[in-house]
Structure 1
Amino acid sequence: MGVLQRIAIAYAIVAFFEVRSSANSYMADANESFSGILRIYHCQCAAVFVLIAIYLGLLYGIYVPDWQFELLDGNKSQMLEINCNIRGSMSPGCNAVGYVDRLILGISHLYKRSAYRRTQECSVNSPLSGPLPINAPAWCEAPFDPEGLLSTIPAIVTCFIGAHYGHVLLHMKGPKRQLWHWTASGFILMFLGLLLNAAGMPLNKQLYTVSYMFVTTGIVALAFTATFVLVDIYKWRSSTAFFKWVGMHSLMIYALLASDLLPILLQGFYWRRPDNNLIQILLRGLGF
């Protein structure tokens, strides 16, 4: 799948539950408590727990056998093998997310451009794309779908959590109560995500792990709170003009970044030498 298909699936499922809950929301009190909001949207709460349970059960329960793929290099081709024989692995070549996609969609329908091409194991120019290092693992060139079937499940949960933030704005009156709820939710979700990361579930965007989902939704809650304070309370609308522009063109920005067009464009601006470009200056400033 692609990112747009994932967004469409997640939005469609959440919209279905929103429609089913609309009758209860119209009859709700205009100043509901947190428990009242959960009561109104109890079906969505149940769906969140069920989806998380399904994802974790499949992620850790599916057995991933050894597998092979054909690597085409011009007129030559070779078969590369990845040894797995494992269950519950989060490694790039042996995770259940990739196995489910290979099993259902078929390996020929997955992205041939490796999702891990910028990692240290797969690029001499990491964190940028580059030639493969010597003795790079086979999974560096293996097909993988970063918007796969299994990893779409926590993406749906992310949309449910985002809808809940909107429910607070709709049913919980008074900016102080709303801000308290969003702030508390953000810190709690971030804490849960970091706790899961410390317990062994990495913050992995490619697998869309539950820890990654919790941390990102927590950050969103805090960012939304800050934006709400600036725009709706202090009326500093001009200070958020840049972020408004980013939000209006988010898909275009994503496409530029995902296709490496933006990094290539930024590398065209350099001081005296081509290798002294904006990207390299930024990376040196970050300590890479």
Structure 2
Amino acid sequence: MTTEQTPKIALGTWAWGDAGGDDYFGGNVKTEVNLRPVVDAAMRSGLTFWDTAYAYGTGASEKILGNLLQSYKRQEYVLSTKFTPGMTADSETAMSDMLAGSLKRLHTDYVDLYWIHNPTDVEKWTPQLIPLVKSGHIKRVGVSNHNLAQIKRANEILGKAGIQVSAVQNHFSLLYRSSEEAGILDYCLQHDIDFFSYMVLEQGVLTGKYNVDNPLPEGSQRAKNYNPQLPKLEKLTAALTEIGAKQCASAADVATAWAIQKGTIPIIGVTKAKYIADEQRAIKFKLSLEEMHRLESLASETGVDTRGFWEKPMTD
């Protein structure tokens, strides 16, 4: 990606997919009406990199985002969306067909960054990116949830056409550092590949907002996944809160700043305009090496495994 397109933080719209009936996150239904203030606040603040996917509510997230961004000129924002193997017909035009649908919902004729969402059959799907790049419908390509061997193989396949993997998007947080342990972060740094980290706040449990006495709202998938872990996370979230207080910042700001200082670009899901200011604080927040090590040690001590059901291990 160009320097101008490489953000400190990207804004994720996974939760917007609940409008399509996913109900993974729970809470209020996400609509264009209640998400417009989010888009407007972000754009005013210079947070203009938007990450979405067809898989987020089978197009619901893309549709909402595309409609809301119509108020802005196309060159004022950067769009990132994904091809998801397994959510399309098994045909020679599967990727181009899914991309065409995404472009229509996003009201554009190109995306700045297009990802293969999971590593199902790298040999089959990676080559299908090439004609889409050459046609101009995709400016850059990325791979998501891929391990190091799969990233290298994708780069080999694309390299024959003079294209390279521009970005990797994997789950990465204080509680889940497998991409670092597997050498993926180092590989990306050495090959000028942007590493986008998703679930940096672990769907809210690293914001300091939730604890044993105030669990995530029942009835959602994330509550089912994370509420049982809350007793083990109290020392970590307390440390995040304590460190943040020194600079008038929140626990979420600190967890996000940690991911930035690890050399990644956090993808932060925002559903309320008031949280845009938090992202600006996280960008400016500086952790000492001692604080970084303290947080990592406390995170390791939790023994919590937050790998998603869709993820395969990055290390053996």
For the criterion TM > 0.5, the same-fold answer is no
Answer with 1 or 2: which has the greater Rg.
1
The answer to which structure, 1 or 2, has the higher relative contact order (CA under 8 A, 6+ apart) is 2
Q: Which has the higher strand share?
A: 2
Q: Which has the higher helix share?
A: 1
